[in-house]
Every structure is written in C-alpha cells, then in structure tokens.
C-alpha cells in the first residue's frame, strides 16, 4: 500500500535530521510541486521523478495554482476565455513564450498530435526547474518561509484544492516554517 502523506513527511523529516549535515539529501520519486516545497522545508536537497513528463502525456500542465487539465472541454477553443490564454504568462518555455493558447493545445491533444505532449513536457520541466530555482533563491536570501506562504496561498486559492491539509501544516511546523507571519519561528531557512 502507498504511504500516506501523514506518514510520508515524518519519514522524510526523520531521515533529514539523522543524515550528516555535510551530505546531500536526495529524495527519489517525489515530484508533486507541493511535495517538493514541503520536503525542501524538511531539508531535502535533490529530487528526481517522472511526474512532470508523465503528467504532460496526459495533457496536464503544471502551474503554481496546481494543474491545468488541457484535455477538459472548458479549454476547447471558443468555450471560455481560458481557452485563449497561454498556459502561464510568466513561463519561459516555448509554448508560453510563443503564446500557444490553451485552446490550441487542447485541440492538438484531442487530435493525438505529439507536438502537444512535447510542448507540455517542455513546459512542465521548465516549471519544475523554475520552482526549484525559486526555492533555492528564497533559501539563500533567507526568505524561504515567506516563499512557502506565497506558494501555498496560490496553490490552495483554487477551488480544486480547498484548504491547506493538516499534514502540510504539521510538516511545515516541524521544519520551523510557520504559516502565520506573526508567529514565524527562527529557522535556518526562514
């Protein structure tokens, strides 16, 4: 059976606390953006996972707000304003820079055109690299806690995700990252 998030974060926390400080902490097979943010707070340094490329094959684009499932009818050209937008205005991937619309990608995906999967793969890998680079910069600039609060604010603002799960709150508390700006604990990465 798969490990539940309530157990998962505790295993990651235990391992990170007991590994020598001068060694990297590598977590294999963890690739959801939320998990990367939480596990980075717990002390993980390196990741690798098929998630960004595998999810692209299913027509899913990753963004800070979660996922955009481009095969869904709402992204068909002419159905809504959402279909006219690129995946993410701020993303430097080829699809976003060229402003290829969500509607165009929807049509390519529905036609089983492999270029759509290639563009989504580039987007998702670019997104994940950008997320890791933003986390790294926040750590180096001693503003990781505010980065986490901002990320969670975007991620859980959408109707899809609802409120921040207790396991995320517990893991971040164990890492010394308070979700309340006023009660920010002292932390190496805050």
What 3 state SS string does 14-79 have? Answer: HHHHHCCCCCCCEEECCCCHHHHHHHHHHCCCEEECCHHHHHHHCCEEEECCEEEECCCHHHCCCC
pLDDT of residue 188: 39
Give the separation between CA 44 and CA 128, rounded to whole angstroms. 15
Average pLDDT score over residue span 100-127: 98
What percentage of the chain has pLDDT greater than the value 70? 92
- Residue 75 burial (C-beta neighbours within 10 Å; 0-12, 13-18, 19+): buried
Q: How sure is the predictor about 46, in pLDDT bands with cuts at 50, 70 and 90?
A: very high
What is the predicted pLDDT for the residue at 112?
97
**Sign, CA torsion 138/52/125/72:** negative
Does residue 189 surpass a pLDDT of 50?
no
Give the chain's radius of gyration (CA, Å): 18
Q: Is the pLDDT confidence value at 105 over 60?
A: yes
CA distances from residue 167 to 2, 11, 62, 72 in whole angstroms, order as listed: 16, 13, 22, 30
pLDDT in tens, 160-176: 656 899 999 999 999 99
Q: What is the mean pLDDT of the chain?
A: 92
Dist. CA 148–CA 171, nearest whole Å: 12
Report the distance separating Cα 30 and Cα 25, nearest Å.
13
pLDDT at 3: 84
Determine the pLDDT at residue 28: 94
What's the pLDDT at 160?
60
At 187, list the tokens.
């932390």
Q: Is the pLDDT of residue 158 over 80?
A: no
Instruction: Note if the pTM is more than 0.85.
Output: yes
- Residue 21: is its pLDDT beyond 50? yes
Residue 17: per-residue pLDDT: 96
Average pLDDT over residues 58-73: 96
Q: Please write the tens of the pLDDT for every residue from 124-150.
A: 999 999 999 999 999 999 999 999 999
């Amino acid at each position: 059976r798969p490990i539940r998030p309530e157990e998962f974060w505790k295993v990651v926390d235990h391992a990170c606390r007991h590994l020598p400080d001068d060694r990297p902490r590598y977590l294999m097979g963890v690739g959801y953006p939320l998990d990367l943010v939480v596990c980075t707070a717990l002390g993980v340094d390196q990741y690798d996972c098929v998630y960004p490329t595998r999810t692209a094959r299913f027509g899913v684009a990753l963004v800070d707000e979660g996922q955009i499932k481009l095969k869904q009818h709402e992204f068909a050209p002419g159905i809504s304003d959402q279909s006219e937008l690129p995946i993410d205005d701020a993303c430097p991937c080829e699809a976003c820079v060229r402003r290829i619309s969500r509607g165009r990608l929807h049509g390519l995906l529905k036609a089983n055109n492999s270029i759509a999967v290639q563009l989504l793969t580039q987007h998702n890998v670019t997104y994940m690299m950008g997320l890791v680079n933003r986390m790294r910069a926040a750590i180096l600039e001693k503003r990781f806690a505010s980065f986490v609060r901002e990320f969670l604010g975007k991620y859980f603002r959408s109707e899809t995700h609802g409120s921040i799960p207790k396991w995320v709150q517990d893991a971040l508390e164990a890492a010394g990252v308070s979700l309340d700006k006023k009660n920010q604990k002292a932390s190496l990465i805050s």
